[in-house]
Amino acid sequence: MVEEAVSTQPYDVVIIGGGPAGLTAGMYAARANLRTLAIAGETSVSQVTITDIVENYPGIPGGINGFELAERFKTQAVEFGLQTASGDVTGLVRKDWGGLAGWEIAAGEARYGALSVVVATGATWRRLGIPSEERFIGRGVSFCATCDGPFYRNREVAVVGGGDTAIQEALFLTRFAKKVTVIHRRDRLRATGILQKRAFANDKIAFAWNSVVESIDGLDLVQAVRLRDVKTGQTRDLAVSGLFIFVGLTPNTAPFQGALALDAGGYIQVDANMQTSVPGVFACGDCTAKRFRQVVTACGDGATAAFSAQLHVEELKGEAY
């Protein structure tokens, strides 16, 4: 749904992204009486909506389905007056709004005016691109050990990848799982020395070298993965209840390349107030350069970004006190 094809009056705040970060920013901005629009992607979804159960969001003992949590975020924000639209934002350009410096945001055919912008476009976990992968997400296939590790107490799991994240997460998983097999396409790890040392010393961790996952098998839940040795071509089945894939995270920041300062990994650089390299543009959640990417941290960032946007707009309109 596109709310208005061309806005004649700018919004105080336009938020790009409809996940936990964007919707929390939307709630705070709308509640501060700012005219606020949140644009959620048309061809992408919030990561939380593909999460079967979120157990670590405070205040919800017993956990909650990720899609339901996202709906609750949206309902609460809309109650305070947040307007919503959907569309894939392709970029933003500077625009003067009757003497006030702002932005015009392009999403397909639609254009939205804004006095401040909050980027909350999240990130996408790279997939292996094999059959059944999508079907088993939340049913044994996971991209987050912190989130899903506790579901695998005393069970056997596998981790795909050989970098820092993969090995760190494999080590974390040994707190719960009976056995963790690290599946890596090469014959040695890429992870830093100290992590390698810890992994090799941990007797719960086994390695499947020179191996790739060819298929993920099971009825409703993951029961096994089929591995192919890239050197010999031989295949074998590995019985696991969980497959944790850590072959890289890509921030959804392509539309902002050249406009905002990004780090080497493509994440948006922000200060403690979620200010980007460009005044009036803020960023929050998984698309930003930071250490820990979770729903609760995305929400915290979103609240901060909204408050910074509020101060920016008040300053711009001469309403600051």
Ligand X SMILES: Cc1cc2nc3c(=O)[nH]c(=O)nc-3n(C[C@H](O)[C@H](O)[C@H](O)COP(=O)(O)OP(=O)(O)OC[C@H]3O[C@@H](n4cnc5c(N)ncnc54)[C@H](O)[C@@H]3O)c2cc1C
Catalytic residue numbers read 144, 147-148
**Closest separation between CB of residue 92 and ligand X, Å?**
11
Chain-centre distance for alpha carbon 37: 20
**Closest separation between CB of residue 64 and ligand X, Å?**
10
Q: Is 252 in the site for ligand X (CB under 6 A)?
A: yes
Q: How far apart are CA 69 and CA 295, in angstroms?
A: 10
| Closest to ligand X by CB, 80 or 125 | 125
Token pair, residue 261, equals 């300062």
Q: Is 282 in the site for ligand X (CB under 6 A)?
A: no
| Closest to ligand X by CB, 26 or 316 | 26
Q: Is 3 in the site for ligand X (CB under 6 A)?
A: no
Q: Is 47 in the site for ligand X (CB under 6 A)?
A: yes
Total residues contacting ligand X by CB under 6 A comes to 39
**Closest separation between CB of residue 195 and ligand X, Å?**
22
Residue 294, Cβ neighbours under 10 Å: how many? 18
DSSP letters along 37-99, please?
A: EEEE-SS---GGGG-S-B--STT-TT-B-HHHHHHHHHHHHHHTT-EEEE--EEEEEEEEETT
Q: Is 88 in the site for ligand X (CB under 6 A)?
A: yes
Q: How far apart are CA 207 and CA 179, in angstroms?
A: 11
Q: Is 255 in the site for ligand X (CB under 6 A)?
A: yes
| Closest to ligand X by CB, 106 or 230 | 106
Token pair, residue 88, equals 């894939």
Q: Is 27 in the site for ligand X (CB under 6 A)?
A: no
Q: Is 149 in the site for ligand X (CB under 6 A)?
A: no
**Span of 27-35, 150-158, 288-296, 310-318 interacting with ligand X by CB under 6 A:** 288-296
Give the E-state strand segments of the chain in sequence order. 11-16, 36-40, 83-86, 89-97, 100-107, 110-119, 123-125, 141-142, 156-160, 179-183, 205-208, 211-218, 222-229, 235-239, 242-245, 249-251, 281-283
Among 102, 113, 149, 285, binds ligand X (CB under 6 A): 285
Q: Which residues would be at the binding site for ligand X (CB under 6 A)?
A: 16-22, 39-41, 44-48, 50-51, 54, 56, 88-89, 120-122, 125, 137, 142-144, 147, 252, 255, 285-286, 293-296, 298
